Amino acid sequence: MARRNNQVEKEILEDDFLDDGQTPTEEWMNEEEFEGQLAVDVYQTKDTIVIKAPIAGVKPDDIDVAISEDVVTIRGDRKEENTIQKDNYYVQECFWGSFSRSVILPSSTVAEKANASLKDGVLTIEIPKVVPEDKVKKIKVNPV
């Protein structure tokens, strides 16, 4: 049964060639400066905005998270341990290389108090929301 399924998959792949004779997968594999887009979940609690992104195979040192008041940008690089010739792939769906994702946040946040963690291949970023008291900053007037 497995042999028959492999034959069906091979026939489907052979029928799915582009005009230049490449499959859609081969076409993006040949793009030298292709950057993957990271999938994310974004939700909010009463006090925080939470972003979760599956990035298995990426070390914490290979992830860069930049946070402004209303945008979070995640960049990284998923490095393939083994170098395999592209001609030897039958199917390649996993993305290897640099990736990024920018997310516009639904409310103002306090970037300085953000926290990021990586557990079981899932990046979790928690960013506190700005509370109404934080929006207005009172300053003392000093005599000159």
Asked if 63 and 74 count as a contact pair (C-beta separation under 8 A), the reply is yes
What is residue 44's three-state secondary structure?
A: strand
Which value, to the nearest 10 degrees, does the dihedral of the CA atoms of residues 64, 69, 71, 76 take?
0
- 35-130: which CATH topology? Immunoglobulin-like (2.60.40)
Q: Which amino acid is at 80?
A: E
Tokens of 70: 């209303």
- What is the reported pLDDT for 19? 54
pTM: 0.66
Task: Return the pLDDT at 133.
Answer: 64
- Block means of pLDDT (10 residues each) for the chain, 144 residues, are 48 50 49 73 95 91 89 89 80 83 91 94 94 70 82
What pLDDT is recorded for position 8? 46
Say what the pLDDT of residue 3 is. Answer: 47
Q: Which amino acid is at 111?
A: A
Q: Where are the domains of the chain?
A: 1-34, 35-130
